[in-house]
Chain A
């Protein structure tokens, strides 16, 4: 397949300034982010009812296009679509047409000929969702469910939604993102969302080998040691150590990584006493996070999963209505 590259322009908004696609949190204005979070609040109530379903997207067809393996994210998108009464088709393309040589755009052309209304796309190439969005007819919406190292906007949105649920005001928070920033599309999307929503201090804590060059340009404060980086922090956003993306040996060993960057109760005590701990999952227990923290009272990791459904319902219904 061809290298698609990241588009320099931002085709997420339609001519009326409304959200047409959700491809990245970068460049999205705060009112659009807040509208997604506010709408998600209403969907939290829906998911707690006996009938966990609203008729909003009845008759719409949503295709989950996963060119990269993922069970959790695909499942949450599937549940979100079903709770909106949409028809969902899951395509695990890594093992079908791509292996037969079909191009990315041929694949989506075929699916849009089946009257798709929305595509949820995960791809190992950065920019894949942008490419599909630019290629589509204007009535079709695209959600990026993770592209290469570039962006994972719904994960970042559910993270900031979770933070708002526990910490109310973004404008007096100190947030630390810890771990493999270099390979993490989640971290990039989190940084853009947090800074747009007015978080005054976003820190990244990682060894030099797991930080992108010139990461300061994103407006973050860089720390290499947990003892300094976690001091007085309100929110800790742990990242998964991406073993499958670790092309070269950037770390001596996972044990060594846990010793310096794994979140233990002892390290967590450096943060504020009411600090919360987030993790996008799936967790590597004993690598980036200790079980005592993951299952501890400051962990909001399972609420993140629950809120993730409501946030994805909000994104899908806002897009479908625009």
Chain B
């Protein structure tokens, strides 16, 4: 299956987000792929508020099934969440469970004025009432496949398709 060029999708996403910026807009990336995208968005859009990152491991709903993720990175929200307009960034929007966890975590930092969602790829099959306001591309993929964003040594982003291991996503 021919996958789209991630760099092109990112350019598309940046163009959509650019139209909606306000002075209090903040970008927050979800580890790991979402952080790579958020770094690029943050840089290209020249935002004044510093970039935030989230590792949602402490808020996941599958802790009871699979336990704690073995490699957790600290979340870092270096701006005042109270009253800010946050654009949450993730690589692949699928069940919506990661986004639910991310929203819950953000609210433990304060009450944002709004949260919108930017996703490089929306592959459908949502299990929660969650939608992205900015989407690079909608892709229809078989449920036994896992779509992953990757970054090479030069920092170039690309998409790859893998056979799903049960404990992923």
Residues of A within 8 A of B (CB): 18, 35, 38-39, 41-42, 44-46, 49-51, 53-56, 317-318, 320-322
Contact = CB atoms under 8 A, between A and B. Distances in A.
Interface of B: 55, 57-59, 63, 66-68, 70-76, 104-105, 107-110
B23 to A, nearest CB: 23
Contacts, number: 51
Given A49-B108, A51-B109, A322-B67, A38 B72 contact: yes
Contacts of A50: 108-110
Contact of A41 (B74, B108, B110): B74
Contact of A49 (B63, B66, B73, B109): B109
Contacts of B74: 41-42, 44-45
Contacts of B105: 54
Given A42-B55, A56-B58, 11 more contacts: A38-B71, A38-B72, A39-B72, A44-B74, A46-B58, A50-B108, A51-B107, A53-B108, A55-B58, A318-B68, A321-B63
17 contacts: A38-B71, A38-B72, A41-B74, A42-B55, A42-B57, A42-B73, A45-B74, A45-B75, A46-B58, A50-B108, A53-B108, A54-B58, A54-B105, A55-B58, A56-B58, A321-B63, A321-B67
A45 B63 CA distance: 20
Nearest to A35: B70
A56 B63 contact: yes
Q: Which of B68, B71, B105, B107 has the most CB of A within 10 A?
A: B68
B29 to A, nearest CB: 15
